[in-house]
Amino acid sequence: MGEVKKILGKISGGKKLGKDQCLILILAGILLCVISLPVEKDKSKSDLLDESGTIMKNEHTFDKEEISRDYVTYWEEKLEESLQCVEGAGEVRVLIYTGGSEETILARDGSEEFSDTTETDAAGGSRHISENRLDKTVVRTVDERGQNVPLVVRTVAPDVEGVLVIAQGADRQQVRRDIIEAIQVLFDVDMNRISIIKMKTNNQ
């Protein structure tokens, strides 16, 4: 409290401040504290020091669009959007079952060495030795955020082993045939791996 009085005394030049002036100064001080605190907090979270002492952005602070979406969720949403365009299908919900998960193939750089030698012992016997050594390392690159990451050659999608479709128009044979045909074209799934169920209505 004493420090506050000293500061107010310096600002007022020794003159007594009115209640309104004191209130304005106090509010201004609170506002400055509120503005400055989050800035320091955000900076401590978003900036990190690497081993060389260079400031870099935290890997967890990136746009939502940069987050790789789950393969199954992506195709469930895409299939729902597509099947709802089928005449008579109505509202559609989709559940996809896969065996395993996505497999990422990384680029690798390596060298291969061959050696072929013949050794002779003191008794006059000989031994033939052949060696083949393969040394591979993962190739790395710099992404759009300036981070050193492995270079991905391709991503292998998991096999779709079953599809469940719940549709309002599932009681119509033509709708069922259209849905089955669309799923088989997209995922190459056997008919016995596709289940189509009628969606309940609000009255049920």
Q: Look-up: residue for tokens 């939502």?
A: 64
Structure tokens, 33: 């504290």
Share of the chain above pLDDT 90, in %: 26
- Domain assignment present for residue 130? The answer is yes
φ, ψ of residue 10 in degrees (nearest 5): -65, -40
Same domain, residue pair 124 and 28 = no
Residue 40 pLDDT level (bands cut at 50, 70, 90): very low
More confident residue, 77 or 136: 77
C-beta separation of 165 from 88 below 8 A: no
Show Cβ contacts of residue 126 under 8 Å, excluding neighbours closer than 6 positions.
118, 119, 120
Same domain, residue pair 181 and 85 = yes
Decide if pLDDT at 6 tops 80. Answer: no
Same domain, residue pair 35 and 8 = yes
What pLDDT, on the 0 to 100 scale, is given for residue 198? 94
What pLDDT, on the 0 to 100 scale, is given for residue 111? 65
Same domain, residue pair 161 and 194 = yes
Query: The domain containing residue 23 runs over which residues?
Result: 2-57
Q: What stretch of H or E contains 68?
A: none
Same domain, residue pair 80 and 162 = yes
- Domain assignment present for residue 27? The answer is yes
Decide if pLDDT at 71 tops 50. Answer: yes
- Domain assignment present for residue 127? The answer is yes
Structure tokens, 122: 């003191």
Same domain, residue pair 122 and 91 = no
C-alpha distance from residue 163 to each of 53, 102, 197 (Å): 51, 18, 11
| Model pLDDT for residues 104-120, shown as the tens digit of each residue | 788 877 766 666 676 77
Mean pLDDT, residues 124-129 taken together: 72
d(CA 2, CA 12): 15
Same domain, residue pair 167 and 92 = yes
Provide the β-strand partners of residue 152: 106
Same domain, residue pair 36 and 115 = no
Same domain, residue pair 114 and 27 = no
C-beta separation of 136 from 106 below 8 A: no
- Domain assignment present for residue 29? The answer is yes
Number of domains forming the structure of the chain:
3
Same domain, residue pair 45 and 130 = no
Mean pLDDT, residues 26-43 taken together: 51
- Domain assignment present for residue 48? The answer is yes
- Domain assignment present for residue 203? The answer is no
Q: Which of 23-27, 88-92, 133-137 has the highest mean pLDDT?
A: 88-92
| Model pLDDT for residues 135-174, shown as the tens digit of each residue | 778 888 888 888 888 888 887 778 888 999 999 999 999 9
More confident residue, 203 or 202: 202
φ, ψ of residue 157 in degrees (nearest 5): -75, 150
According to DSSP, the β-strands at 47-49 and 55-57 are antiparallel
Half-sphere exposure of 88 (CA within 13 A, CB side): 12
- Which of 159, 151, 176, 25 shows the shortest CA–CA distance to 87? 176
Indicate yes or no: pTM above 0.85: no
Residue 14 pLDDT level (bands cut at 50, 70, 90): low
Decide if pLDDT at 55 tops 50. Answer: no
- Domain assignment present for residue 62? The answer is no
- Domain assignment present for residue 75? The answer is yes
Show Cβ contacts of residue 109 under 8 Å, excluding neighbours closer than 6 positions.
136, 137, 139
